[in-house]
Structure 1
Amino acid sequence: MPSAGPIPFSMMEQRTPGSRSARGVVSSLAASVLFGGIFYLYGVVDASAEAQFGWRMIVTALCYALALSTRQGRAAFALFWRVLSSRWWMPLVLVAMSAMVGFQMWMFAWAPVHGYGLDASLGYLLLPIALVLVGRLLFREQVSRGQWVAVGIAVVAIGAKIAFEGTLSWVALGICVVYAVYFTVRRHAGLDLPATFGAETVLLIPVAVVFVIVMPGATTPLGQAAVIAAGLAGTLAMSAYLGASRLLGLPLFGLLSYAEPVLLFVVAMLLGAHLRAWDPLVYGTLAVALVVLAVDGFRRARRIP
């Protein structure tokens, strides 16, 4: 294995391109559904965002610890450790990635609790556009004509929203920029590995424990059970999401990510968010982009043996 640079995907997955693509699509969509359910739980449970974030990190770390008891888990950690120890600066990169993940996990809990669900959904709408551009400009990945059309329509929709409001929410911008940087660093450093997220979570445990002890938690047994359930679902969702990022090129991975903000938008409405006068036009335009993406994906899938 090379000691520097991204690990060739062929070394991690001995699968046909069609199999890799199909598995990546299923993983991405499953993650989106789970994230939508977690977002809803965060908005209805009577616990602070910080306490919910803390429990999610603790549950996730425990799940990854259990995974180390399996042969596959130990093999994944051994691969991660070889890459991490290949350069002296790799642990510093891991710490930076852990901080970015922590910010995103906290923001995901904070937004629905404080009424910023729509702004969070906008951030996740901006993220696929950023990932498509990163994949094309930095990693020279191919983008189909249909994908470019979908991106163009989405850019028009987001541009119209910014024009109508005159500004862009810091929540939306934070989600978009930090996640785009995270995935870029993760892939460029060669840390695009199954065990990486577990290691990032472990580094966040001290902060998580402080939040659980200091910040207000759920006041009922049912609420506490919902917090734990959200933590378990978050582990499955993030594993599936990062798995899709390994199996798919950044352009397709980014465009499939549109499923999540659509679900987050629906959840935000269920939690009591109110649309502005121009929002139906903006989100309707984004729906057109999703249709273009779906048609393009169907045509490309038919050409795969």
Structure 2
Amino acid sequence: MRQTRSAATTGGFYAFAAYLLWGLFPLYFLLLLPSTPWEVVAWRVLLSLVFCVVALSVTRGWGAFARIARQPRLLGWTAAAGILIFVNWTVYLVATLTGHVIEASLGYFINPIVTVLLGVLVLRERLRRAQWVAIAIAVVAVGVIIVGYGQVPWISLALAFSFGLYGLTKNRVGGTVDAVSGLTLETAWLTPVAAGMLIWVGTGSGLTLGTAGAAHAVLLLLAGVATAVPLLLFAAATRRAPLSLIGLLQFLTPILQFVTGAVILHEAMPTERWIGFGLVWVALVVLSIDSLRAARRTRAAGVGNDVAEIA
């Protein structure tokens, strides 16, 4: 029991650290200006691959990587995951570097609800009443933003669905692909695209690496580490902490992003945005309470089964 609690505590710490780093990403990426989103995402892909290659070498993970690489089904899933995370990274960087941090935060607030919805549409899962209520409230929230703000929150929806589908692809491979091997394959698939983007940027506006000062160059070169570390922390957390705890901690990321956009960057928050965000937060409260109750019932059922087996 003590080992289980210790593992859960450690997992909770890993999850908190991962979500904290993701929540602080807007401040980090803004330091990379005048780099364009296209240059940053390209370096992010290539340097993440370099980091993963080093990590595989240090941890002697090449054997596991080779076993995964020999399975076409897993290669297909990692290619799909790579495309989805590339879309997510690109949209997020465009949002952050063009003054739409609040809209990006809305995407990650909506993401848990999108994940539940994908479970119904793709995995044919059956939802509880409270989950349907949360989805309905979220749909109304998006409608309020569309009507009041005068445009569809494409950034929010693209982030929510790309990351939700990315999570779905990771779910399909389950524990057969470890975090480092998975990220290595995902970034390897994207390497030709990233290289092409650097050539395109270089022949257009010009690459900024090495032209905007030493501090900027160091920060840009750390993009791979900044990308990989929270992903590895998150992977470690999911193996130790209960999903109910991870589900609650995930709100730390969009909260920090929202505060960054509203308080630090002073992005506009008209009334219709407040109403839309308020409805999303209500939906998340409903979803969280329902998830905690479901987890409590599952634990109680497990204890009851253990007692019955002992008897």
TM over 0.5: yes
1:198 partnered with 2:184: yes
Contact 2:47 2:224 in 1 (8 A): yes
Contact 2:146 2:153 in 1 (8 A): no
Q: Using structure 1 for the length normalisation, give the TM-score.
A: 0.74
In structure 2, the residue matched to 1:7 is none
Shift of 1:255: 5.6
User: CA, structure 1 residues 128+255, in 2 after alignment: closer, same or farther (shift >3 Å)?
Assistant: farther
Letter in 2 for 1:34: L
Shift of 1:236: 0.8
The partner residue of 2:221 within 228, 232, 241 is 228
SS at match of 1:204: helix
Where do 1:157-176 residues align within 5 Å? 157-165=141-149, 167-176=151-160
Where does structure 1 lack aligned partners over 5 or more consecutive residues? 1-14
Letter in 2 for 1:85: R
SS at match of 1:47: coil
Contact 1:128 1:255 in 2 (8 A): no
Separation in 1, partners of 2:120, 2:27: 34
In structure 1, the residue matched to 2:100 is 116
SS at match of 1:182: helix
Shift of 1:240: 2.6
Where do 1:1-305 residues align within 5 Å? 16=4, 22-44=9-31, 45-71=33-59, 73-74=60-61, 77-86=62-71, 88-135=72-119, 138=122, 154=138, 156-165=140-149, 167-190=151-174, 193-194=178-179, 195-212=181-198, 214=202, 215-218=206-209, 219-244=212-237, 256-269=249-262, 270-288=264-282
Q: How many residues align?
A: 286
Q: Deviations over 1:237-279 (max 9, x none)?
A: 2223344556678787556433222222222232342112222
Letter in 2 for 1:82: R
Letter in 1 for 2:30: G
Separation in 1, partners of 2:167, 2:160: 11
| Structure with higher helix content | 2
Letter in 1 for 2:265: L
Where does structure 2 lack aligned partners over 5 or more consecutive residues? 304-311
Q: Using structure 2 for the length normalisation, give the TM-score.
A: 0.73
Letter in 2 for 1:32: Y
SS at match of 1:217: coil
Q: Which has the larger radius of gyration?
A: 2
Separation in 1, partners of 2:281, 2:257: 14
Shift of 1:196: 0.6
User: CA, structure 1 residues 245+157, in 2 after alignment: closer, same or farther (shift >3 Å)?
Assistant: farther
Separation in 1, partners of 2:289, 2:100: 32
SS at match of 2:222: helix
SS at match of 1:216: coil
User: CA, structure 1 residues 68+51, in 2 after alignment: closer, same or farther (shift >3 Å)?
Assistant: same
Bigger Cα displacement from structure 2, 225-234 vs 132-141: 132-141
Question: How large is the RMSD of aligned CA atoms in angstroms?
Answer: 3.7
Shift of 1:167: 4.1
Letter in 1 for 2:18: A
User: CA, structure 1 residues 206+138, in 2 after alignment: closer, same or farther (shift >3 Å)?
Assistant: closer
